[in-house]
Amino acid sequence: MRLVASLLLAAASFAGSDRAALNLAIAGTRRAPPDLSAMIVRYRTEFLAAVRDAARRPPPADFEAEARAISRAILSRTPFPEIVRRIGAAAGGILSAEMPAGSPGFEAASAGPYRIPGVSAAAASGDPGPAARSIRSAREELAGASAEAAAARIVADETNLLWAIWTGAGGDARPAKKLDERNGPYVVDGAPR
């Protein structure tokens, strides 16, 4: 009985190595809101441990509800190590949900570079719904796709979910690129407002 249960869990979890999982999880944070990204770097041990654990389990049932719950936890002043751990668990859940089984070359593709479209307007405005729908449909949509396409989709969905969590909690939505603002604030084309 235990053997059958462990085989079912293994079949439903991330199909890549720990190295690939951590590469993708870190890549998704690089285009995250800068303040959130800084907190993830500060509590990286909690983040990476949660990613590794969650990637080995079946994905969560509702990413949208979890993203909204994390946003509420930020607003209710939950300690940031716990917030970052929950964000890491969500990132690991994305890995578990999206990676199609038996994708050759995935280990190399997980190291990048990634071609992603950027942050969606919905995610930048704090709505995790479109990112959650994309995560749910990814495994079927990526069934015949290349390893590079699967890795890019995972990174894009994680980035969008992180933006939705942060801006949903009222976080600063400025672009990550640092600009010299001695002569006034500058508008960056395509940046979320």
80 or 146: whose pLDDT is higher? 80
* SS3 call for 130: helix
Report how many domains make up the chain.
1
Q: Tell whether 7 is covered by a domain.
A: no
CA dihedral 171→93→135→68, nearest 10 degrees, is -30
Q: Tell whether 8 is covered by a domain.
A: no
Q: Tell whether 6 is covered by a domain.
A: no
pLDDT in tens, 38-56: 999 999 999 999 999 998 8
Q: Tell whether 188 is covered by a domain.
A: no
Residue of 132, 137, 133, 142 whose CA lies nearest to 16: 142
Q: What pLDDT, on the 0 to 100 scale, is given for residue 15?
A: 53
- What angle in degrees, to the nearest 10, is found between the helix axes of 129-141 and 63-75? 150
Other Cβ atoms less than 10 A from the Cβ of 172: the count is 10
Under DSSP, the state recorded for 60 is P
Q: What pLDDT, on the 0 to 100 scale, is given for residue 141?
A: 84
How would DSSP label each residue in 4-47? HHHHHHHHHS--S-HHHHHHHHHHHHHTS-HHHHHHHHHTHHHH
pLDDT in tens, 111-149: 778 787 778 888 888 889 999 999 888 888 887 788 888
Burial of 177 (0-12, 13-18, 19+ CB in 10 A): exposed
Q: Tell whether 68 is covered by a domain.
A: yes
Residue of 33, 22, 192, 4 whose CA lies nearest to 107: 22
Query: Which pair of structure tokens corresponds to residue 39?
Result: 């907190």
Where do runs of H (alpha helix) occur along 31-143? 34-42, 44-55, 63-75, 80-98, 106-109, 121-124, 129-141
Whole domain around residue 114: which residue ranges? 15-168
Q: Tell whether 184 is covered by a domain.
A: no
pLDDT in tens, 20-32: 888 888 888 888 8
Q: Tell whether 35 is covered by a domain.
A: yes
Q: Tell whether 82 is covered by a domain.
A: yes
